[in-house]
Amino acid sequence: MRSAARTTGSQRPRAEGLAHRIVSGWMALVVAQWAACVPAVAVAASAELAAFAVQRNEDGVSIDYSINFDLPRGAEEALNKAVPLYFVAEAEVFRDRWYWRDKRIASASRVWRVVYQPLTANYRVTFGGLSQSYPNRAEAFAVIRRGANWKVAEAAQIEDGSRHYVEFSFRLDTSLLPRPMQIGIGTQPDWALSVERMQRFD
């Protein structure tokens, strides 16, 4: 009887592990089938910087930007199904060095989470731990597309007499999507949305 009890106990984790693999495999299959429905001729969404400026003053270095973009088809379909989308803006400040690779002296990032709420037909945008609801998509994305007086470096980090520049990027971050959805969409142009800019400042 003891031997039988031990055998049953050892089989239970195996059964649970098998069930987990079956569920994971099923989810991967569903996502793969969904991804396969995207036309092979899909084109990456366009994104462009409508405005970009770097300011240096006694408080440090800040940037202003405005981005125009169309939401990619795959991302739009996911958003309509209440899947949260994440947008990331990053800025890095570098100092020129003739004898070695340029030195990164500061970095900053911003992350927005936007999700459609079907029950209220609103869009909720979360940024910096705070959430705000908007009645339509245009108003929700307006707060994501623009940044004003974003401080990316302290004054003490900037060395007088040296040359500096800012590398800025903005993208739809698929790595923050629910894990089952990440399978197979990383290389799909129907999910690609990004823009970059490098600009020097005095």
Task: Work out the mean pLDDT of the chain and round it to a whole number.
Answer: 82
**Main-chain phi, psi angles of 164, to 5 degrees:** -130, 160
Q: Considering the chain, what percentage of its residues have pLDDT values greater than 70?
A: 76
- Lowest mean pLDDT: which of 19-28, 113-122, 124-133? 19-28
Higher model confidence: residue 17 or residue 72?
72
Which pLDDT belongs to residue 15? 42
Going by pLDDT thresholds of 50, 70 and 90, the confidence category of residue 40 is very low
Q: Which whole-number Å values give the CA distances from 140 to 72, 82, 106, 130, in the listed order?
A: 16, 14, 29, 14
Asked if 115 contacts 131 with a C-beta cutoff of 8 angstroms, the reply is no
**Average pLDDT rounded to a whole number, residues 154-165:** 96
Report which of residues 112 and 191 the model is more confident about: 112
